[in-house]
Every structure is written in C-alpha cells, then in structure tokens.
Structure 1
C-alpha cells in the first residue's frame, strides 16, 4: 500500500475572507488533507520571509508543501532573453521553495518550437544542468526541481522523454512530475496506471512520486488540458487508487480539479477504501 499525501493546488475554494496562504494551509489541515501546492503560476509574488512563515506553519501542523512555478517558462525558445528570464523565474521559485521547506518546484519546461523534439530535449537538458549549478551556488539543497509531464504534443514533456532526461541528468534534486490528466490527454484519452507505475520503478526505483490529478475536457475531436471535476472520470481516479494500494512507495497527489479540496477529499476517501495510508 502507498503512503499518500493529498491536497489542493492553491488556496482551497471553501476558505472565505482574505484567503491568505497561511489561512489556506490551516484550512487544508482542518478539513483532513495533508498537502498543498503553492501557485506561483502568474508570477512569484511571495517574499522569502513569507515563504519561511508558510513553511514553519506547515511543518508545525503536518501539511506537505510544494510550488508550481510560473507558466511563463520556455527553455526551448529561440530567444536567449526568454530562456534567461525562464531560468530567473525558476530560481526565484526555488529560493522560496527552499525557504518554506517545499518538496518540489514543478514547472512546464518548454514548447518544441523550431528546435523540434530532439533539439528541444538537448536545450532543456542544458538549462536544467545550468539551474543545478545555480542551485549549488545559492545554497539550495533541499527543494527539488520537477519537470512536469505535459498534455500537448507540441510541448516538451512526453512521459518517456521526461523520465529519460531526469535519468540522464542523474541529480537527486531533479525529478519527474507525473500529471495523470496530462498523460491521459496526450495519449488521446487513454491511460494505463499500472504501466506508468512500472515505468517509474524501472527508471527511479522506490523514489517518492510527486503527481497532479484532474479530469480533462474533450473538445473538437481531441482531449485538451482544461480541468474538470473528477466525477467526469476522464481519466477515472479509482483505478489509480487501486493500483497505488499494490505499491510500497510514497506518493503526493495534488488535486487540480476546479473543486480543489472537495475533490481532494473524494480522492482521499477512495485511497483509504483500497488500503492506502494517508501520511
């Protein structure tokens, strides 16, 4: 059975009032969840001091924190200024992640663009190695850099290429982040949870997994990365809960459904039903 951390991507929707990060962390704990991803997707707007305060509270009450870096990142741009700005945004996110004791900073690496898949692969790898060097210089030693598996076929982030790059970089501070909905969309509305978990074992052994889950939408003949409540079952969550129960591993599942903590609690119930342990 898996040991699972589960919680929302961002401040819970049930939280009223000023909706601060600190209040969000408390709310997550109060409703019975144990993880929360801090959303920097529109920009890094949290000070290092505020990150430290968030981390202190989360540690005290037992909520695992992670960060989603800004969307405005493209390590395969043909403009050096875009790549440099992308690395800067990642370093700002990593600095906050280190301050709050976050496990991982998740990011969308790139679009293939003019470089194509293999050229983009090499460009992302080069930038990741540069970021590792910068992390060392800045004393960032706890938080990990997480390359997210992506939904669109024009984006860098197929399952195999992401796993391959992380394996080749071979640094404990660089990890792959599996977004189950993205895999489902990229595969045209199909997902084999057992195959993905087996692939993870093959590449990374018993390394903890950080993952995202949401249902996605079908529109104009294709599956797209537009988030839906998990009851739409695209993909279904219950089979994942069943497969995780067969695994002796640690998994974080961040709910990106529009219903956030409401769907996270549904996921928690299903996980427990099949014998998984909520950490």
Structure 2
C-alpha cells in the first residue's frame, strides 16, 4: 500500500518554503498555515509568492495540501465581535487557499461558550453558509476536524459533525478530518482492533467514509475518554503502536492523507522518525 503521508510543515518567510522542505523530507501530504496562526490580521499573499508556491507544488511529489486555520477563529463565538472577526478571518483563509490551489481548509468547529450544543451547531452552520455564499465557485473544501471535547468545544461526537454538515447548504464543499488523539480522548477506542473496526463503521454510518479526507496522526498523552487534547509521538502515548497499526493497514483509508501534528523542533527531525515508525507498521 502506498500511503499519502507527511506532517505539518513550518513556513519560513514565504509559503512556498514549506513545499521545498516537504520535498526534502519526502512527504506526499502536508499541512501548513498560510498566515500567522495567532493573529487576526495578515498581509495579503503577493503574486510572486502565489506563483512560486503553485509552481513548486506542481513539480513536487506532494499530492495533498491541507491548510490549518488560525487558532483564534471560533465560528460559534457567543461574543458578537469575536464572531465577526472569526468570519472575516475564515473568509481570508478560504481566499488564500483558493489563490494557492490548496484543496482543504481544516478547522475546529468551535466552542459554544455556554450557549449549548444545539445553538453552537446552528451558528457554525450559519457561519459556513454565509462564508460559502461569499466565496461562490471556490474549489477549496471546508474541512471539519473532530475534537477532544475540552471545555465547550464542539465536534467530539461524530453526530455533531454530521449535524453541522446537514445544516450546511453547499454540502459538496464540506469534508472531515479525524485527529487520532482527539477522537481517542473523546472516547473512541481505536487502539483495540475490534473496537477500531466499530469506530470506523460508526463514522461511515453517521458521516460517511467518502467525506474523510485527512487523518491527523497523533498519539495521545491522555487516556481514553479523558476529553483532554495533548499530542504525543507515535507509539509513545496511550494509543500506542497497536492503534496506528490498525490505521496503517486499513485499505479503506489508502486515499486519505495521513498528517502528523506531533511535537517537533525547528528542523522537524521528529516528523521523519514518526513517519518511519508509521510506515514500519504496514504489514
């Protein structure tokens, strides 16, 4: 089996620097930030930067690029000012992905801030409908990420993700990302092989495997059902090599991008080690 595999790659200066690095690492799938992930505002991408990114990508072995949105964005914020800022920033994220030819914009659904699950889900869908209307004919898909369910975070149950998609008008613009550390912390046991099959069967029934386009490959520092989001290196956490063996040998996932978000230093040597570990699990 030939996997689409890689990691979140640091951008240094221009966004095209990530493509250069990913090629050196031998990645076939990557995730990047197209703007500062801890600021509301960002300078526009230059034409030179856009052209260089697209040219390098076209000449690379990279098949899938995912952009992760800013950590500040909350599409169901109770605070009206934060909600408006979030929508403006998310529109900018969609614009950047479209300019660069990036297929997917990955985002955490949001935190309902005490308003409740139903209200939060409604507001996320309302935000997405508004943003999709503002970006008609864009090819980039909005990728909902499953969460661990810390605090008031939504998206820790497959049903919640399905409900958001149900309320989105342009369903063809939606897809999903599973984060292994998140769903494990949310109570989905992917470690045991029998339970893993049940979890994936449940995902397929509730959401549909055709909508699963990315898996964030992260071990979990915290135990099953802890609802705490803490990433660890492959095989070093609570999921262990058993859980990742299940994923690496699941033929149904061969076209799904496997992207590491494990702790890393500037040279990203840990990513290379983790990719090697994952590929060693293929039977």
TM-score, normalised to structure 1, is 0.82
For each residue in 1:208-248, what CA deviation from the matched residue of structure 2 results, as whole angstroms up to 9, or x when unmatched? Answer: 521212223349x9563233222313322553343442323
Following superposition, the deviation at residue 254 of structure 1 comes to 1.5
Shift in alpha-carbon separation, 1:222–1:165, aligned structure 2, 3 A: closer
CA distance in 2, matches of 1:199, 1:261: 35
- 1:11 partnered with 2:10: yes
Kindly indicate whether structure 1 or structure 2 has the higher relative contact order, using CA contacts under 8 Å at least 6 residues apart.
Answer: 1
Q: SS of 2:114's equivalent? A: helix
Q: Matched residues in 2 for 1:234 and 1:46: separation? A: 41
Q: 1:155 aligns with which of 153, 156, 166?
A: 153
Which residue does the alignment assign to 1:93?
Answer: 93
Equivalent residues in 2 for 1:56-75, closer than 5 Å: 56-63=55-62, 64-75=64-75
Q: Following TM superposition, by how much is the alpha carbon of 1:74 offset from its aligned partner in structure 2, in angstroms?
A: 1.6
- Name the counterpart of 1:274: 282
User: Is 1:194 the equivalent of 2:190?
Assistant: no
C-alpha separation in 2, matches of 1:52 and 1:199: 42
Structure 1: segments with no counterpart, 5+ residues = 13-17
Q: Give the whole-Å Cα distance in 2 for the aligned partners of 1:254 and 1:118.
A: 30
> Closer, same or farther in 2 for the Cα pair 1:80/1:58, shift >3 Å?
same
Q: Distance in 1 between matches of 2:107 and 2:113?
A: 18
Q: Tell me how far 1:144 sits from its aligned partner.
A: 0.7
Structure 1 CA distance, aligned partners of 2:226 and 2:278? Answer: 28
Q: What is the number of equivalent residue pairs in this alignment?
A: 265
Q: Does 1:31 align with 2:25?
A: yes
Do the aligned partners of 1:216 and 1:225 also contact (CA within 8 Å) in 2?
Answer: yes
Map 1:253-268 → 2, pairs under 5 A: 253-259=258-264, 260=268, 262-263=270-271, 265-268=273-276
Which residue does the alignment assign to 1:15? none
> 2: distance between equivalents of 1:252 and 1:42?
25
Q: Which runs of 5+ in 2 are unaligned?
A: none
2:164 counterpart of 1:171 = no
Equivalent in 234, 252, 256 of residue 257 of structure 2: 252
Identify the match of residue 210 of structure 1 among 209, 214, 222. Answer: 214
Aligned to 1:123: 123
C-alpha displacement at 1:48, in angstroms? 5.1
Q: Do the aligned residues in 2 keep the contact of 1:8 with 1:255 (CA within 8 Å)? A: yes
Q: CA RMSD in A?
A: 2.9
Structure 2 matches for 1:34-49, cutoff 5 A? 34-39=28-33, 40=35, 41-43=37-39, 44=42, 47=45, 49=47
For the Cα contact (< 8 Å) 2:214–2:258, is it kept in 1?
yes
- Residue 52 (structure 1) shift: 4.1
Taking the aligned partners of 2:189 and 2:241, their CA distance within structure 1 comes to 14
After superposition, the C-alpha distances for 1:168-217 in whole angstroms (9 at most, x for unaligned) are: 43611111221111111222987643233223332324345212122233
Aligned mates of 1:93, 1:9 — CA distance in 2: 17
Say if 2:233 and 2:262, in contact at 8 Å, map to a contact too. yes
SS at match of 1:224: coil
